[in-house]
C-alpha cells in the first residue's frame, strides 16, 4: 500500500519542524538570559580599589604594596567564626598604627564586601566582622592612612590566614 499525497501529516505534527523552530528559540532565550545577568551584575566592581584607566590599560597605585614589601611586613589573622572576632598580629618593621583597616573582598560581587576596623591592643589588633564566613574571601589589611597594604586569602572553612605584600621586596 502506498501513501497518497492526501495522507500527509499537517506541518505541526512533523518533529523536524519543531526541531527547526526550537533551536533558534532556545538561542534567543539564552541570549536574553545572558544580557539580563550581565545587566544585574554590572553594578559593583569586584575590585574595591581605585583604578585609573588609560586607553586600553588599567593602572593601579602600588605604592602601598611597595611600602609593605620594603618594610618586610607579614600578618597572621586569626578568626573566631562563632563571634566574628578577628585578631591580627604583624611581623616585620615596627607597626605603630593605632588602627588598621581589614577588608573582606567577595570574589565577584562588590556589594557583599565586608569591612572591619581593627584597634591596637598591646602587640595585636582586634576587631569584629559581620560577614558570612561560609565562603572564601580575599583579604586586604592596610594602615588607616593607606601607607602600606597586605593581601591574603581566607579559604572556606579556615580560621586563619597569612597576609603578605602583593609585591616582592626589591
Residue-by-residue DSSP string for 129-140: --S--SS-EEEE
Q: What's the confidence (pLDDT) of residue 30?
A: 96
Q: What's the confidence (pLDDT) of residue 117?
A: 92
Domain ranges of the chain: 9-41, 61-163
CA distance 21 to 43: 35
For residue range 29-55, what is the model confidence (pLDDT) as tens digits? 999 999 988 887 665 555 556 666 666
Query: Which fold does the domain 61-163 belong to in CATH?
Result: Immunoglobulin-like (2.60.40)
pTM of the model: 0.64
Amino acid at each position: 500500500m502506498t501513501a497518497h499525497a492526501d495522507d500527509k501529516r499537517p506541518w505541526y505534527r512533523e518533529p523536524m519542524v519543531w526541531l527547526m523552530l526550537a533551536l533558534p528559540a532556545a538561542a534567543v532565550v539564552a541570549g536574553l538570559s545572558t544580557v539580563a545577568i550581565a545587566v544585574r551584575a554590572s553594578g559593583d566592581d569586584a575590585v574595591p580599589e581605585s583604578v585609573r584607566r588609560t586607553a586600553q590599560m588599567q593602572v593601579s597605585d602600588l605604592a602601598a604594596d611597595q611600602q609593605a614589601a620594603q618594610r618586610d611586613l607579614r600578618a597572621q589573622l586569626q578568626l573566631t567564626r562563632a563571634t566574628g572576632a578577628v585578631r591580627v598580629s604583624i611581623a616585620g618593621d615596627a607597626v605603630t598604627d593605632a588602627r588598621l583597616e581589614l577588608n573582606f573582598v567577595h570574589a565577584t560581587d562588590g556589594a557583599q564586601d565586608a569591612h572591619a576596623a581593627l584597634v591596637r591592643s598591646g602587640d595585636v589588633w582586634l576587631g569584629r566582622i559581620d560577614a558570612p564566613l561560609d565562603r572564601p574571601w580575599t583579604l586586604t589589611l592596610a594602615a588607616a592612612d593607606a601607607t602600606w597594604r597586605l593581601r591574603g586569602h581566607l579559604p572556606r572553612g579556615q580560621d586563619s590566614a597569612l597576609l603578605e605584600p602583593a609585591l616582592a621586596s626589591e
